[in-house]
A and B are shown apart, each in its own frame.
Chain A
Amino acid sequence: MIGGLATGAWDATRNLAEGITAPFRDPVVRLGVTGLSRAGKTVFITSLVANLLDRGRMPQLRAVAEGRVLAAWLQPQPDDNVARFAFEEHLAALTAPEPRWPEGTRRISQLRLSLRLAPEGLIGTLRGPRTLHLDIVDYPGEWLLDLGLLDRSFAEWSEAALARAEGRPGGEAFLQAVRAVDPSAPADEPALKALASVYAAHLAASREAGFADCTPGRFLLPGDMEGSPALTFAPLPPAPDAPRRSLWRECERRYAAYKRHVVQPFFRDHLARVDRQIVLVDVLGALARGPQAFESLRGAMADLLAAFNPGRSAPLARLLGQRRVERILFAATKADHLHHAQHPQLAALAEAMLREARDRAAFAGAQTAAMAIAALRTTVEDRVTHEGRTVEIVRGRLADGRQVALHPGDLPEDPGRLLAPARAGAAEWPGAAFALPELAPASLTLRPGEGPPHIRLDRAAEFLLGDRL
């Protein structure tokens, strides 16, 4: 309790100090890249930075089109205790002669891109070129899910987790293990450890099957906390009169410790203090995995987005160090897997899927938008005649090197056609089918001054950063 108060006071002091000194330092924009595992955060950051360093492919970013971005420099990053984002390695992986996707992110990393901007207006001319720092954090998407735990007690979370376990891969084994233990019995460390590992196996299996809401995230990717008590617990059925030191009480205590030692510091240090946020959602992938995976993704995104604090920060509040997310972009990724004629439907679907978060943000005064983007374009557009009708397709390369012509399926004009059956728990999409093979990045020949090809990355950057450039 006192520790929490002290931490809160320290945070407030730090924010206040930052706010007061802000007018005398170069402005910093913190871009929060939010997305679950495999949504494409790392590729997005890599491509954005590469395209800001080589700006030939950013015509829709107005400051670039008007020639106001004089130079960009990838700084050694600002925080000494966080790893630097391995930009060069990721870019090398994407642009190699045999290109491949970067490895999944396993730890937090950060980078700072500094932009030198030409002056504007009378005062700007007097001051000369100004500098804007862009701070971006990359982190494992699995950990993001834990934000949904912040507002939940152990009993609530257990109930939800046990309900989810039914019918998912590995769920039956876990439920049997839970039934075998008595929550009111005294806690026994080996038994608890066994239960936790069964639960972790169930989480890993259901994530493989495409379910998004697998909490706690550190069970999937423990980092250096593996085996610690804060990561050794499992959801249990309610036991209202469980005595002290019983299994249930111990799990409840460890759940609280997990939130306090893992979730809160992660959120506070890396996610809470962002000015601009992009929410990357793999809508097409979730569609291809079926209505249940789609609904689980929707629920997980709604849960975790509730942790953020959107709105417009008043100038005075900004001076006092209060930060709010002023602009949120909901981006449906992998738009290159779809012909551009269907991009509006894809963006509408992403927007409808994240409707709660969007409405909350818009009501609080933040600007929101939805777009279909591809941070790294892997396909070209084409049309073929198939069974007597012309189909607009994209051509790409599969992971095993074969060429493929792809049309993932017709997206409906009205997103409700997909959202409603998903919410109702349908097993198959009624009257529609979607498929999405995994495409490998195309091998690129870049002209000097050009970043990697993309779809609407410049437009997304214009929405997120355009007013600060």
Chain B
Amino acid sequence: MREPSETRGPLILHLEDAPPPTPAEAPPVDGEAPHPPAMARALRRAGNRRSGGLAGAFWSLLAGFLLLALSLAAWDWATGLVARHPLLGSAATVLLVALGVVALAVAGREVWALRRLARIDALQRRAAAALSGDSVAEARGVAADLATLYGGRPALAPAADRVRARLTEVLDADGLLRMAEAELLPGPDAEALAEIRDAARRVAALTALVPLPFADMAAALALNLRMIRRVAEAYGGRSGVVGSWRLVRAVAGHLIATGAVAVGDDMIGGLAGGTALARLSRRFGEGVLNGALTARVGLAAVEVCRPLPFLSRPVPTVTGTLSGALAGLFARGNRRPDPPG
């Protein structure tokens, strides 16, 4: 039973200074906040995951400690050597100093390569933002930076000039990016695809011909790494060791994120093309399969390294790339590889 004092009468407050309500933007009364699909959420988590604070600190400290110990030991050894045999010791010191200088240069190149990669990453992010926000100013910046990035290549300099000339004339975000893509990216695309075809062909041939079970795997791994690096270079990213490692991780992440579905789609075609071969020889079938996987890795590398998404140009498919690659493998020996694009 309620107490009579708890029943409430009508309540009307006059809000003089409050801003007027905007029911058009209020959340729905009985609706929930929209959930992204489970897969998208999982992907976002996977994408955002950085190595945790504690583990990261542990590994960096350990690496620093080992590096210190190593360089101290080398120093002690060199000074000891100077004390014992002055001539040998000074030679060792010179070597050590030269080694240090070269190591510094290598580190500098790594940093530079990482910055190139980061620049392409930033371009990708800004392009996505310009597309989703329909922001002309942002898209104009992206197109101008792309023209600078590729303007240094002699083959692309006229295209870069054309893009710069049209920058203020096109007033649509997607139009600007489409124009930049159509003018600047066909060359790098063709270069990257040629690298992928080449790698897929080599991997397929290796698997089919090399009889040792682990040798072919190691060779395929090396070929894949080289392909990823060259794809990045085709799009203007230089990569050193650290850069390559980052690239490989990004490509692997991309493969895991998209591959589960896409491999299923693409492989049907690849396998259908490969079945006849597989009937002839188990190893040839394996070769085709490995070639398809390499092509898949290569296309993931393209998606990671390309500064713009595929807007107006056709997205390359695994099946198409693979058939191009295998046409080169099984055709007569004097045939040139497919013309790019």
**Pair A459/B179 contact, Cβ less than 8 Å:** no
Q: Within 8 Å CB of A458, what residues of B?
A: 175
The main secondary structure of chain A at its interface with chain B is mixed
B166 partner residues in chain A, CB cutoff 8 A: 57, 59
Segment touching B, from A13-21, A32-40, A60-68: A60-68
Kindly list chain A residues whose C-beta atoms are within 8 Å of the C-beta of B136. Answer: 340-341
* Interface residue ranges of A2-61 to B (CB < 8 Å): 57, 59-60
The residues in A between 292 and 320 inclusive whose CB is less than 8 angstroms from any CB of B are: none
Knowing A57-B166, A59-B166, say if A456 contacts B172 (CB, 8 Å): yes
Question: Could you tell me the distance in whole angstroms from the C-beta of B167 to the nearest C-beta in chain A?
Answer: 11
Among residues of A, the one whose C-beta sits closest to the C-beta of B179 is: A59
Distance of A65 Cα from B179 Cα, bound (Å): 8
Cβ of A457 to closest chain B Cβ, rounded Å? 10
- Shortest CB–CB separation between residue A57 and chain B, in angstroms? 7
Of the candidates B134, B136, B172, B178, the one having the most CB atoms from chain A within 10 angstroms of its own CB is B172
Interface bracket on A: 10 to 19
The reply to whether the CB of A417 lies closer than 8 angstroms to some CB of chain B is no
Question: Counting CB contacts under 8 A, is B182 at the interface?
Answer: yes
User: A140 to chain B: closest CB distance in Å?
Assistant: 31
The interface size bin for chain B is 10 to 19
Query: In the assembled complex, which residues on chain B have CB atoms less than 8 Å from the CB atom of A456?
Result: 171-172, 175
B81 to chain A, nearest CB (A): 67
Q: Is the CB of A65 within 8 A of B312?
A: yes
- Does chain A have a CB within 8 A of B317? no
A344 and B179 alpha carbons, distance in the complex (Å): 20
CA distance A377 to B183 in the complex (A): 23
A456 to B175 CA separation, bound complex (whole angstroms):
9
Known pairs A65-B182, A65-B312, A66-B182; A60 contacts B169 (CB<8 A): no
- On whether the beta carbons of B178 and A65 are closer than 8 Å, the reply is yes
Known: A60-B172, A459-B172. 19 other contacts (CB 8 A): A57-B169, A59-B166, A59-B179, A59-B182, A60-B175, A60-B179, A65-B178, A65-B312, A66-B312, A340-B136, A340-B171, A343-B171, A344-B134, A381-B168, A453-B169, A456-B171, A456-B172, A456-B175, A459-B175
Could you tell me which A residues sit within 8 Å of B by CB distance? 57, 59-60, 62, 65-66, 340-341, 343-344, 377, 380-381, 453, 455-456, 458-459
**Contact code string B29-49 (vs A, CB < 8 Å = 1, else 0):** 000000000000000000000
Identify B175's interface contact among A59, A66, A377, A453, CB under 8 A. Answer: A59
Query: Smallest CB–CB gap between A310 and chain B, Å?
Result: 25
- Please measure, in the bound complex, the distance between the C-alpha atom of A339 and the C-alpha atom of B58, giving whole angstroms: 55
Closest beta carbon of chain B to A29's beta carbon, Å: 22
Q: Is B170 an interface residue (CB 8 A)?
A: yes
Nearest first, the 9 A-B pairs at minimum CB distance are A59-B179, A340-B171, A65-B182, A60-B175, A340-B136, A455-B171, A59-B166, A459-B175, A62-B312
Contacts of A380 in B (CB 8 A): 168
Which residues of A are found within 8 Å of B171, using beta-carbon distances?
340, 343, 455-456
Q: Which of A60, A62, A344 contacts B170 (CB 8 A)?
A: A60
Q: Give residues 170-208 of B contacting A (CB, 8 Å).
A: 170-172, 175, 178-179, 182-183
